[in-house]
A and B are shown apart, each in its own frame.
Chain A
């Protein structure tokens, strides 16, 4: 999505917020945005199967904090060279930028599973669309009641967040990795991930959008997880996923943000 498109989405959304009457902001589980535009915009002309055999999505029906909604997508089968999930795209229908993230997996991922924390700006469906190695698309969706997650004030300790920006750490279950099987790992990224929607009408303080756009995790140089991310990812982006080490080696994360900053961090993995 280019910047002009993004800006217009933000504008449309703000106009929508201002104009929408309570009656229009129905609590019904509406899929208009997906069916009328998003599906075609993001997956032009392709068939998307809604089935239970590929992936499952877990999100709270009522979000406690719209700026930090835990979201988990799990695959129904292990990654093998013959049959695996290539990509999972996450779309939040009624967010100002519905495209939220896209995660590329490989057979070496072990399990195509991702957990992260996202912002929800309105009552909406969140959907995960998985592309399997045979090129087919499969979708799972969940409805989430939350509002204001994108326009909500940024974390109050913005100074601390900026001082720590770009810092990353991996967390594994225990000290040792298990060889030749999927190991869960968590990547914590310190970044304020500002949406650009926290506008100011009084003192003209402007917080321009500043968020992580790319996350690339490799083990010994081979891709484990590659993600494109947008403003729906919560401050201090956090990803849980799997990787399969066949020997000791280096787990490395490289990220980019929309202002062109690059950061990297790595951790030695020992069996």
Chain B
């Protein structure tokens, strides 16, 4: 039997290697930013076929009785990877999937979690936003992300939140707040009261330029209100896995305020939207990644909003 031993060992190590690769492919990097609060860090990139739209910060919070997933990922595979990662961290069952808003990088992993006993939770306008955007998003996924989505991938909330909702995970309570139109018209934030961790989704961008897909004025109002939330740390939708609260709001708030001030003054002085898109806010370019991809679009969106703000 002796001659066979090295071969056996080789086979065994090859097998281990395969397992390692396989398990690597099925999980996702995560960091525990507070006891029981786990975040996977996204990347500051445009969604494309290489990153498969897996660009946002996503994660989960573990209680004694239940796990709550917060944003499921930018692709069906990322949703599966997150699910496997949760299984590697805890045997506590997943009871909730919370979507912070409708954008693809936060919801495309939903289907991976759909099972008896799992409740999907989102802003009361999330269901409608998913329904209206699904055909457009499916086409974009096919042409730009390299995968196909079926209608089933858009899992709407079975627990819509109109104002606030307290979720008991066993030994810890999450306070969910539905916000008026800000980043989108369906933003939901989560406060883990036990650790003082505020999960803001895309109400907070850090490093990645903020993207206005709702209302510039509304977003600034919400930032003002959020400042009074008692928390020790914050998790942004894009940026580091965790940051100091409320200091983390400063960059985004300054950028949005500058847009607001300069666009108001452009409208006041009779400038056109074309001029505004060329001239406004260029001094903020060094502060943000993906500036050239979203800044002018932000101006166009905000200009069209502010033209009517006095009416």
Residues of A within 8 A of B (CB): 17-18, 22, 25, 64-65, 68, 70, 72, 115, 117, 148, 151-154, 156-157, 164, 167, 169, 171, 173-174, 188, 190, 198-203, 205, 207, 234-236, 238, 240
Contacts and interface: CB of A to CB of B under 8 A. Distances in A.
B134 A202 contact: yes
A68 B135 contact: no
Contacts of A207: 132
Given A68-B301, A202-B156, A238-B307, 13 more contacts: A64-B300, A70-B273, A115-B274, A151-B135, A154-B132, A156-B129, A171-B270, A188-B308, A190-B308, A201-B134, A201-B135, A203-B156, A205-B131
B127 interface: yes
A173 to B, nearest CB: 5
Contacts of A164: 308, 311
Nearest to A172: B270
Given A64-B297, A236-B307, A202 B151 contact: yes
A207 B308 CA distance: 23
B185 A157 contact: yes
Query: Closest 6 CB pairs between A and B?
Result: A156-B185, A64-B296, A64-B297, A202-B131, A203-B131, A200-B131
B228 interface: no
Nearest to B303: A68
A234 B185 CA distance: 19
A156 B307 contact: no
B132 A157 contact: no
Q: Which of B127, B297, B304 has the most CB of A within 10 A?
A: B304
A156 B297 contact: no
Interface of B: 127-136, 139-140, 143, 151, 154, 156, 181, 184-185, 213-215, 270, 272-274, 277, 296-297, 299-301, 304, 307-308, 311
A26 to B, nearest CB: 13
B132 A148 contact: no
Given A164-B311, A203-B156, A68 B304 contact: yes
29 contacts: A22-B143, A64-B299, A65-B297, A65-B300, A70-B272, A70-B300, A115-B274, A117-B273, A148-B140, A151-B135, A154-B132, A156-B184, A156-B213, A156-B215, A157-B185, A157-B215, A169-B311, A190-B311, A199-B135, A200-B135, A201-B151, A202-B127, A202-B130, A202-B154, A202-B156, A205-B132, A207-B132, A235-B304, A238-B307
Nearest to B299: A64
Given A117-B273, A156-B215, A200 B132 contact: yes
Contact of A64 (B134, B213, B214, B277): B277
A169 B307 CA distance: 10
Contacts of B297: 64-65
Nearest to A58: B274
A236 B139 CA distance: 26
A147 to B, nearest CB: 8
Contacts of A203: 127-128, 131, 156
Contacts of B311: 164, 167, 169, 190
Contact of B272 (A115, A157, A236): A115
Contacts of A171: 270
A25 B143 contact: yes
Nearest to A70: B274
Nearest to A203: B131
B214 A156 contact: yes
A153 B132 contact: yes
Contacts of B213: 156
Given A64-B300, A156-B215, A70 B277 contact: yes
B139 A173 contact: no
A175 to B, nearest CB: 11
Nearest to B150: A201
Nearest to B139: A17
Contacts of B135: 151, 198-201
Given A70-B274, A171-B270, A151 B139 contact: yes
Contacts of B181: 156-157
B301 to A, nearest CB: 6
Contact of B134 (A17, A169, A200, A235): A200
A201 B131 contact: yes
A169 B267 CA distance: 14
Contacts of B134: 200-202
Contacts of B131: 200-203, 205
A4 B274 CA distance: 36
A199 B308 CA distance: 27
B113 to A, nearest CB: 18
Contacts of B215: 156-157
A198 B311 CA distance: 27
Nearest to A236: B304
A188 B307 contact: yes
Q: Which of B130, B154, B214, B307 has the most CB of A within 10 A?
A: B307
B202 to A, nearest CB: 13
A259 B225 CA distance: 40
